Amino acid sequence: MQTNNTHHCGQSIQHLVASVLPPVLIVELLLGLPGNVMAVWIFIRHLQYWRLHTVFLLNLVLADFLLLVSLPFRIDYFVRDENWMFGDAWCRINLFMLAVNRSASIGFMTAVAVDRYFKVVHPHCKVNFIGSQQSAGIACFIWAVVISLRIPLLLSSDLLWKENNDVSLCRSFNNYENPSTGIWIHYTMYIGEFFLPLVLFIFCSIRIPCTLRRHHIDKKKVRRATRTVLVIVGVFITCFFPSIATGLTALCLKNLGNEYCRAYRLFSELFSLSIGFTYLNSALDPLIYCFSSSMFRNEVKRAINWFGTGGATAQSPWHNRSTRDG
């Protein structure tokens, strides 16, 4: 357990974070769980209609469940005023699962956006005609890359340490004086997995609408793809930009010297608060499912109509429409 590898600015319990985050995380948990349970039910119910981006969406749901399983322990941690009660091993596992959720969520969001790009901009590319087994293979590859790059965090011994020999702090971002290799990999991943997908999102957001200038192209398909990518970008920026902005600012202040310690501690606390936006992705991801999958969208409309009529036996106007993804 790390006790002496801290920065000259010192490390302390963030009481504001501990008081603000628990209700925020509880709301996110309550919003994210039903949406993702419904998504699993819909995707499994329509196995015969799976396409490449449907496989990506299902794996995005699975990534969200890693977060939903981990959140109750983080809520307990903050309710106890940043005092981790579950030991070193579970601290590492908990932070590992949260990091894998972030990386996998970004990975599959990017995969969905790129799939929409190829469908519209390069409709005759072989990528658009791969089978279900190849789709599963691509998803497994993404998981393998994400997990292998996050294993150093799981093996790190710097995540749990004592504050005043009383409170056990469980954090993946501390003000280390000499971060270990695993922590450096974690920091590099945290930054890189934001900016690299952002470049791809910007590229797809520009190239897809440009195809509207072509003749003999389904303009509705282009508009649907554009909306899908814009929704993904909106969720991506909302959930992951606040932590990147505050984290990079804190990192810069940390290297400026002792006179910036007060500003550094302020932005460290803002960074911790911004994690609430990161965990929001499980509640917002159903928006991506709705805009990316006509199958999911139609099932949601059927459910709304069913509840709106009190469960009447009359069929929804969407019942006879094809559930194939568009």
DSSP per residue, 241-279: HHHHHHHHHHHHHHTT-GGGHHHHHHHHHHHHHHHHHHT
Planar angle of CA 124, 126, 129, nearest 5 degrees: 90
Predicted confidence (pLDDT) at residue 245 exceeds the cutoff of 70: yes
3-state secondary structure of 101: helix
How many angstroms separate the CA atoms of 107 and 142, rounded?
Answer: 7
Predicted confidence (pLDDT) at residue 11 exceeds the cutoff of 70: no
Crossing angle between the packed helical segments 294-308 and 281-292, to the nearest 10 degrees: 100
What confidence tens digit (pLDDT) does each residue in 51-74 have? 788 889 999 999 999 999 999 999
Domain spans in the chain, listed from the N-terminal domain onward: 15-292, 294-326
CATH number for the segment(s) 15-292: 1.20.1070.10
The rounded percent of the chain whose pLDDT value lies above 90 is 48
Looking at the whole model, is its pTM more than 0.95?
no
pLDDT at 133: 83
Place of tokens 């504001």: 16
> In the structure, what pLDDT confidence band is assigned to residue 97 with cuts at 50, 70 and 90?
very high
Among 75-79, 216-220, 294-298, the range scoring the smallest mean pLDDT is: 216-220
Predicted confidence (pLDDT) at residue 326 exceeds the cutoff of 70: no
Predicted confidence (pLDDT) at residue 46 exceeds the cutoff of 80: no
CA distances from 124 to 55, 77, 118, 119, 232 (A): 20, 51, 9, 8, 24
How many angstroms separate the CA atoms of 296 and 310, rounded?
Answer: 21
> In the structure, what pLDDT confidence band is assigned to residue 164 with cuts at 50, 70 and 90?
low
What confidence tens digit (pLDDT) does each residue in 26-43 have? 999 999 999 899 888 888
pLDDT at 182: 84
- Mean pLDDT comparison of 208-222, 255-269, 270-284, 312-326, highest-scoring range: 270-284
For the chain, the average pLDDT equals 85
Mean predicted confidence (pLDDT) in 173-194: 85
CA dihedral 28, 173, 168, 275 (to 10 degrees): -10
Mean predicted confidence (pLDDT) in 219-225: 85
How many angstroms separate the CA atoms of 96 and 89, rounded?
Answer: 11
Mean predicted confidence (pLDDT) in 1-25: 73
Q: How far apart are the first and last CA of the chain?
A: 51
> In the structure, what pLDDT confidence band is assigned to residue 180 with cuts at 50, 70 and 90?
confident
Mean predicted confidence (pLDDT) in 96-109: 95
Contact 212, 218 (CB under 8 A): no
How many angstroms separate the CA atoms of 31 and 54, rounded?
Answer: 22
